[in-house]
Structure 1
Amino acid sequence: MGRSVPAGAVAGSKKASWPEVVGWPAHDAALQISKDRPDVSISLYIGTGPWPPGPHPWRVVVVSDAATGVVVQTPIVG
């Protein structure tokens, strides 16, 4: 029998991280995050920074490699 909510998640909770998009093109990752969480804004960053100031509960930062354009770290809300 399948689960309606992933193990460890709370029913009704919203997705807060996207480890599955590491290695994806940044644009594709942003589209997936937007599909999963249309209520957050997505900020795309290339390379090593500078990063946006402080955590923000309605923002997801997607960091991609400058040479390849693929996501290099897990995007999270905050």
Structure 2
Amino acid sequence: MGRAELAGVGRGSRSSWPEAVGLPVATAAHLINGDRPDVAVALIMEREPNRQPGRPDPRRVIIISDAAGIVVKTPVVG
């Protein structure tokens, strides 16, 4: 599933953080906020498959974690 990417928004123009996979959620959120202070971070637990992030939002990064609080998918803007 593709997501729209924003170029040149905020201090940085990053739209994904593959290096966050395997990190604790708090560490990943800190990393993302350091790169993109203009976006909010939303958390979805992997075991909640029916929970959807809602409409795409260019000012939000979604972090998907396992039950232990470890990031399991690359966080992306949208």
Q: TM-score by structure 2 length?
A: 0.78
The within-5 A match list for 1:30-49 is 30-49=29-48
* Per-residue deviation, residues 13-43 of structure 1 (Å, max 9, x unmatched): 6000000000000110001000000000000
Asked if 1:56 corresponds to 2:57, the answer is yes
Q: TM-score by structure 1 length?
A: 0.78
1:29 alignment counterpart:
28
Residues 45-54 or 33-42, more deviating? 45-54
Superposition CA RMSD, Å: 1.7
Mark the runs of 5 or more structure 1 residues left unpaired by the alignment.
1-11
Larger radius of gyration: 1
Q: Which amino acid aligns with 1:64?
A: S
What secondary structure, in the 3-state scheme, does the structure 1 residue paired with 2:33 have? helix
Aligned residues: 67
Following the alignment from structure 1 to structure 2, what is the Cα–Cα distance between the partners of residues 58 and 29? 17
Percent identity for Structure 1 against Structure 2: 48
Mark the runs of 5 or more structure 2 residues left unpaired by the alignment.
1-7
